[in-house]
A = this chain, B = another copy of it.
Amino acid sequence: MFEAVELGRKLDKKDYKKQASYYRDKLLFAQFALVNAGAPVYILLEGVDNTCKGEVVNLLNQWLDTRGLEVTGFGPKTDEEAERPRFWRYWRTFPARGSFGLFYGSWYTGELIKRTLEKQSKVDFDSHMLRINRLESMLAQDGALILKFWLHTSKAYQKSKFKELKKDKHGRWQVSELDKALHERYSDYIKAAERAVRLTDQPEAPWIVVESEDDYFRNIMVAKTILQAFENRLAEKKEDVESTKSASAKKPPGDFPTETVLNQIDLSAELSREEYETRLELAQTRLNSLSWRAYHQGVSTVMLFEGWDAAGKGGAIRRIMEAIDARIARVISIAAPTDEEKAHHYLWRFWRHVPRAGRATIYDRSWYGRVLVERVEGYASIDEWRRAYSEINDFEEQLCNHGNVLLKFWLHIDQEEQLSRFEERKATPRKRYKITDEDWRNREKWPAYEQAAHEMIMRTSTDYAPWTLVPANSKRHARVTVLEAVCDRLERALQEKRG
Give the contacting residue for A98; candidates B83, B298, B343; CB below 8 A.
B343
Q: How near does chain B come to A274, taking the closest CB pair, in angstroms? A: 42
Distance, CA A346 to CA B84, complexed state (A): 19
Decide: A84 and B402 in contact? CB cutoff 8 A. yes
A22 proximal to B (CB < 8 A): no
Contacts of A126 in B (CB 8 A): 127
Further pairs besides A123-B123, A130-B130: 13, Cβ < 8 Å: A80-B356, A85-B399, A85-B401, A86-B398, A88-B351, A88-B354, A91-B347, A96-B344, A97-B343, A123-B124, A138-B391, A139-B345, A141-B384
Inter-subunit contact B394/A134 (CB<8 Å): yes
* CB atoms of A83 and B352 under 8 A apart: no
Against B, the Cβ 8 Å flags (1 = close, 0 = not) of A114-152 are 000000000110110011001000110110100000000
CB 8 Å contact bits of A377-414 with B (1 = contact, 0 = none): 00000001001000100100011011010000000000
Is A344 a contact of B83 with CB atoms below 8 Å?
Answer: no
Cross-interface CB contact of A84 among B343, B356, B391, B394, cutoff 8 Å: B356
Contacts of A139 in B (CB 8 A): 345
Question: When chains A and B are docked, how far (Å) is the Cα of A398 from the Cα of B128?
Answer: 12
Question: Which chain B residue shows the least CB distance to A343?
Answer: B96
Task: Name the residue of chain B whose CB is nearest to the CB of A404.
Answer: B85
Chain B residues within an 8 Å CB radius of A141 = 384, 387
A108 CB within 8 Å of chain B: no
Given contacts A85-B398, A357-B83, A401-B85, contact A345 B142 (CB under 8 A): yes
Question: Do B352 and A85 touch (CB < 8 A)?
Answer: no
On whether the beta carbons of B352 and A91 are closer than 8 Å, the reply is: yes
> In the complex, which residues of chain B have a beta carbon less than 8 angstroms from the beta carbon of A394?
131, 134
Give the distance in Å from the alpha carbon of A404 to the alpha carbon of B88 in the complex. 13
Given A127-B126, A138-B345, A340-B96, are A83 and B356 neighbors across the interface (CB < 8 Å)?
Answer: yes
Indicate whether A344 sits within 8 Å of B84 (C-beta atoms), given known contacts A123-B123, A127-B126: no
| Complex contacts, A96 vs chain B, CB 8 Å | 340, 343-344
Q: Write the A345-385 contact mask toward B (1 if CB under 8 angstroms, else 0).
A: 11110011011110000000000000000000000000010
| Interface: A230 (CB within 8 A) | no
Least Cβ distance of A126 to chain B in Å? 6
Kindly list chain B residues whose C-beta atoms are within 8 Å of the C-beta of A144. 345
List chain B residues, Cβ under 8 A from A123.
123-124, 127
Which 5 pairs of residues, A with B, have the shortest CB-CB distance?
A: A96-B343, A83-B357, A85-B402, A91-B351, A85-B398
Copies of this chain present in the complex amount to 2
* A440 touches B (CB below 8 Å): no
- A94 at the A/B interface (Cβ < 8 Å)? yes
- Determine if B127 and A94 form an interchain contact, defined as CB atoms under 8 angstroms apart: no
Q: Does A300 contact B (CB under 8 A)?
A: yes
Let me know if A87 is at the binding interface, CB within 8 A. yes
* Contact residue among B131, B344, B402 (Cβ-Cβ distance under 8 Å from A94): B344
- Does chain B have a CB within 8 A of A169? no
State A99–B387 Cα separation when bound (angstroms): 25
Nearest CB to that of A339 among chain B residues? B96
Residues of B within 8 A of A94 (CB): 344-345, 348
Residues in B whose Cβ lies below 8 Å from that of A357: 83
A81 nearest CB neighbor, chain B only:
B356
Decide yes or no whether A92 CB sits under 8 A from chain B. Answer: yes
In whole angstroms, what is the CA distance A398 to B355 when docked?
42
Task: Tell me the bound Cα distance from A343 to B91 in angstroms.
Answer: 13
Bound CA span A345–B136, Å:
11
A87–B396 Cα distance when bound, in Å, is: 12
A141 to B370 Cα, complex, angstroms: 15
Report how far A480 CA is from B399 CA in the complex, Å: 59
Q: Which residues of B contact A138 (CB under 8 A)?
A: 345, 347, 387, 391
Bound Cα distance A134, B127 (Å): 13
Q: Collect the chain B residues with CB atoms within 8 Å of residue A352's CB.
A: 91-92
**A447→B98 CA distance, assembly (Å):** 38
Collect the chain B residues with CB atoms within 8 Å of residue A300's CB.
83
